[in-house]
Copies of this chain bind each other. A is one copy, B any other.
Amino acid sequence: MSQSPQSALPVFRYAIRADLPAIVALLADDEKGKTRENFTNPLPDVYGNAFDAMEATSTDALPNKYLLAIMDEQIVGCLQLTLIPGLSRQGRLRAQIEGVRVSSNYRGQKIGEAMILHAVNIARDLGASLMQFTTDKTRADAHRFYQRLGFVASHEGMKREL
C-alpha cells in the first residue's frame, strides 16, 4: 500500500475553541479515557468552561494550550502543554504534558513520537529545561514509549482526590 506524502508527517498547531469536539473525541478514544470523558453532541459545558480557564492563564511565552497533530485534514493527535514557572532549582521553567492521545485509526505511525518531540522543541524554545508528566502505573506500553524518547521514571506521581 502506498502512502501519500500528506499522510507521512503530521503538522502541528495549537487548538482553538472550535476544536473541542475533536479533542474530546480523542480524549475518549483511550482505554481509561473512554470511561472518564463525556463525549456527547452538544458537548457538555464543562469542556468549554475548562478551555476558557486554560486561556485565562495562558500567554504566548507561558502557554497552557492543547497542541494538535493534523494529518489528512483531520485532528489525529493531541496533548496539553503547560509551561510552569517556579522558584525551585534556581527558578527552573518546567514544561508539563497531559492528555496525550493519538487517534486509534492512526496509531503505529510514530505520530505520538513526532508530537512529543514537537512539544519538546516548543518547550526548549520557550526556555524550559525540563519536561515532566505523570502516567498511570498500569500503562506499561506508554512507559516504554516515553523511555525511548529519553524520559526517566525517576519520580513517584502521587495523587489525592479532593
Contacts and interface: CB of A to CB of B under 8 A. Distances in A.
Interface string A32-49: 010011100000101101
A160 B131 contact: yes
A90 interface: yes
The binding surface of chain A is classed by DSSP as mixed
Contact of A132 (B47, B54, B91, B157): B157
Nearest to A46: B91
Q: How large is the interface on A (under 10, 10 to 19, 20 to 34, 35 or more residues)?
A: 35 or more
A161 B86 contact: no
Interface of A: 20, 23-24, 27, 33, 36-38, 44, 46-47, 49-51, 53-54, 56-59, 61-62, 64, 66, 80, 82, 84-93, 95-96, 98-99, 120, 123-124, 128-137, 143, 146, 149-162
